[in-house]
Amino acid sequence: MRALVRIASWLYALAVYGFIFLPVVVLVLFSLQATSFPIPPFTGPSLRWYDAVLADTRLTSALVNSLLVAALSSAVAVTLGFLSAWGFARFTLLGSALLRGLITLPLTVSYLIIGMGLLVLFNWAGVPKSLLAAGIGHVVINLPLCFAIIYSQMGDHQINIERAARDLGAPEWKVLLLVTVPVMAPAIFAGFFLSMTFSWDEFVISFLLTRFDTTLPVEIWNLLRSGLNPKTNAVGSLVFAVSIVLVVFFELMLLRRKPA
Amino acid sequence: MNPATNSGRALPWALVTPALGWTLLFFVLPFLAMGFSSLTAHDGSGFTLSNYSQFFANPAYWQAMVNSLQVTAIVTLVSVLLAYPFAWILAEQVPERWQRLALMLAVLPFWTSYVVRSYSWLLVLAQNGVINRALTGSGLFTEPVQLANTRLATITGFVHFFVMLLTLTIFANLKQLSPSYRKAAADLGAGPVRTFLHVVLPLTLPGIMVGAFLTFVLCIGDYITPQILGGNNELLMPQLVMMQIGRRGDFPLASALSIILMAVVTVAYLACARRLKIERA
């Protein structure tokens, strides 16, 4: 009976792993296709489609745009998230629970609706579609995340260290920069990298709020109009690789925080 | 205890105002603008409820909502049924020191972007894609089967994503379960099957419901997966919304449809929160 459960478990787990990895394996495998269609039989390996991606200035500039939007919007999100988390954790504010609820509210609304709202607002206000507009949207989706992560990590332990610094005569800004930020660094990094990953992958807000200069997911979407194409596989594999790097980084951050 | 006494009241508000301001300006205000827009006529001739009445009067719009609810229900159910045993195996059968790696592997493709993931499924399901080649190559089928641009393709793409998400949440749930519950059940003479059915499953049910609710919300609001995998044969709500913006530039109708979609999610949330008290979990 035990052995039977074990064998059945192995088979089941293998099947689910297979299902989970099937599309990724097909994507990466056919990005190495030597001929023009990413369908069987496999004719590679060849790196020609990666060359094609790197030679395509629309894709490479979209890649730079994506990284730029991700880095800047995450920096803004994590800064605002950190300052507000600090404010709420250290001081008793009027209506604190309600205001904290307001900051985390965007987490419960789908990206499509956040994007739609900004589109309608910017349309009325005469704000043109741009990377800046998309970046503003990315801060909206990532700010509650950064706030929640950092706020949940602020405990009594940190308060005591800060109080010691204040007792020793440090002004408020010095406490913030020299004590709170270093102590909270793991949570701040976690918030930043998680935001980077979400912004890097985000499609619908960028799709609605940008026009000519756009982000990589939107540019990939444009590529899809030409049907199945190994070039799309290649750029998709690159996007996947960047996401993995970000996630591994994030995972290492979490591991480093564990022993503390 | 409270350091506010020696730093005045200005500092705390200076800290929280930027975040609150951003949320008000770029989240609450846009939402109000959308609500306002949904009450205006497309041709700019004043206020009207016609955008909402159109939804209820037009069977094609209704159908999109019905499709969305059906697809979301199927996806949620199938994902939970697939993910639960998988998470259980990872938590119970895989040796402790391999668990972190096994889990990380299981959710690795979770981090590919929506667009790329859906495109990857298109490669698998296409007319001359991997599955059809395997089917015709093995002699099981003589003709390729229509897999892409169907509801089945949309559901497959969604299930793929949500199995990973639910595996994460259910795994965390199973690990949080104190082993003493199981020991107590065993001491009282329950076999592994009874222990599972009467102890483990009921204790992890609230976690499953939270995961299922998350699946519902993310699934019903997603545009990419149905657009790439399902095509335009059958529209889901987010596709209908995007269509109003894209082809017709009809912001008021798109706003009204978005608000209706959000209302459905809110009703689902309230129903879940009442029954399961997830607000306290």
Q: What is the pLDDT of residue B6?
A: 44
Give the one of B16, B116, B255 whose C-beta lies nearest to A99's C-beta: B16
Domain boundaries, chain B: 30-38+45-276
Please report where in the chains the tokens 């997830």 appear, as a residue: B278
Residues in chain A closer than 8 A to B149 (CB atoms): none
User: In chain B, which among 5-24 make CB contacts under 8 A with chain A?
Assistant: 6-7, 11-16, 18-20, 22-24
Average pLDDT over residues B57-86: 92
Q: Nearest residue on chain B to A242, judged by CA atoms?
A: B112
Answer whether B126 sits within 8 Å of A208, measured CB to CB: no
Q: Nearest residue on chain B to A15, judged by CA atoms?
A: B86
Q: Is B95 on the interface with A (CB under 8 A)?
A: no
Residues in chain B closer than 8 A to A19 (CB atoms): 160, 163
Q: How many CA atoms lie within 13 A of B180 on its CB side?
A: 1
Q: Is A27 on the interface with B (CB under 8 A)?
A: yes
Q: Is B128 on the interface with A (CB under 8 A)?
A: yes
Please report where in the chains the tokens 């260290």 appear, as a residue: A161
Going B6 to A153 to A193 to A105, the CA torsion angle's sign is negative
Answer whether B27 sits within 8 Å of A105, measured CB to CB: yes
Domain boundaries, chain A: 57-257
Interface confidence (ipTM) of the complex: 0.84
pLDDT 10s digits, A145-168: 999 888 888 877 777 888 888 888
According to DSSP, the residues that pair with B47 across neighbouring strands are B40
Q: What is the pLDDT of residue A91?
A: 81
pLDDT at A41 over 90: no
Average pLDDT over residues B125-141: 81
Residues in chain A closer than 8 A to B269 (CB atoms): 108
Average pLDDT over chain B, rounded to whole? 84
Answer whether A136 sits within 8 Å of B30, measured CB to CB: no
Domain A57-257 has CATH 1.10.3720.10: yes
Going B228 to B234 to B239 to B242, the CA torsion angle's sign is positive
Nearest-10 crossing angle of helices A2-31, A230-257:
130
Q: How many CA atoms lie within 13 A of B134 on its CB side?
A: 6
Give the one of A37, A114, A124 whose C-beta lies nearest to B27's C-beta: A114
Q: Is B91 on the interface with A (CB under 8 A)?
A: no
Q: Which amino acid is at B243?
A: M
- Name the CATH architecture for the domain at B30-38+45-276: Orthogonal Bundle (1.10)
pLDDT 10s digits, A91-145: 888 888 889 889 988 888 888 999 999 999 998 898 889 999 999 999 999 999 9
Average pLDDT over residues A212-231: 86
Lowest mean pLDDT among A120-124, B207-211, B220-224, B259-263: B207-211
User: In chain B, which among 211-270 make CB contacts under 8 A with chain A?
Assistant: 217-218, 220-224, 228, 238, 241-242, 245, 251, 254-255, 258, 261-262, 265, 269
Q: Nearest residue on chain B to A86, judged by CA atoms?
A: B15
What contacts B257, CB < 8 A, 6 or more positions away? B51, B55, B61, B237, B240, B241, B244
| Structure-token pair, residue A165 | 């610094």
Average pLDDT over residues B258-278: 77
Q: Is A82 on the interface with B (CB under 8 A)?
A: no
Q: What is the pLDDT of residue B277?
A: 52
Distance from CA of B42 to the nearest CA of A (A): 13
**Chain CA centroid to CA A137, Å:** 13
